[in-house]
Each structure stands twice: as C-alpha cells, then as structure tokens.
Amino acid sequence: QKEVEQNSGPLSVPEGAIASLNCTYSDRGSQSFFWYRQYSGKSPELIMFIYSNGDKEDGRFTAQLNKASQYVSLLIRDSQPSDSATYLCAVTDNAGNMLTFGGGTRLMVKP
C-alpha cells in the first residue's frame, strides 16, 4: 500500500515569512513528485513537480527532494495571505499513470 504522509496543520506563518511544508512517502519506486494547492471547495492546482534529488526553484516556490530519506518539501518564500490554502503532496511510480496524494497541509498566512 503506497502511502503519502503530510502533517495536516494548520501551519500558521506571518505575511512575508517562509512557509515550509513537508511530505514523506513509503514507496521507494516513486519517481515523480508534485505539489498541488487546493483552495476550499476547489480542484487541485499544480504548483511544481520534481524528479531529481535536490532543489528546484520556481519564483517564490522551491521544491526539495531527498529520495534516500523518502522526503519531499515545499518552501514558499515571502508568504502572502493569498497563499492560504491546503497544499497537497502527490507521487507517481515509474509507470506515471496515477497520483497518490497525501492528506494535505493547511497553510494560513496571517497579515
């Protein structure tokens, strides 16, 4: 059974701070890793994906992957109130056919 685990939160950070969101996964065969943002009642929206160990930056977002530790994280710099949402970690295996999602971490950015 493939598992993706996230702290449900809420994670509360002040506006302008760095938010750090973490995710662990159980399947060592996982190949691709995704971060989605989901506002209440809405569909998941892709933020970033990462395949290789290390860091990947896109604007205010940085994804970090450590396959040896089976750990992936998302850093949000200069957090804004509009970043307040639930952040979903998702992984796929080598076939890449389906996403296994974590339960999400609720982020609250306070003005």
List residues near another protein by CB under 8 A.
32, 34, 36, 42-46, 48-49, 88, 90, 92, 95-104
The residue among 13 and 88 lying less far from another protein, judged by its C-beta, is 88
> Smallest distance from the beta carbon of 101 to another protein, in angstroms?
4
The residue among 17 and 99 lying less far from another protein, judged by its C-beta, is 99
> Smallest distance from the beta carbon of 32 to another protein, in angstroms?
5
CA gap 62, 43 in Å, rounded: 22
Paired tokens of 71: 């750990």
The residue among 16 and 51 lying less far from another protein, judged by its C-beta, is 51
Indicate the pairing of strand 61-66 with strand 105-110. Answer: unpaired
Tell me how far CA of residue 84 lies from CA of 40, 54, 76, 79, in angstroms. Answer: 10, 26, 11, 9
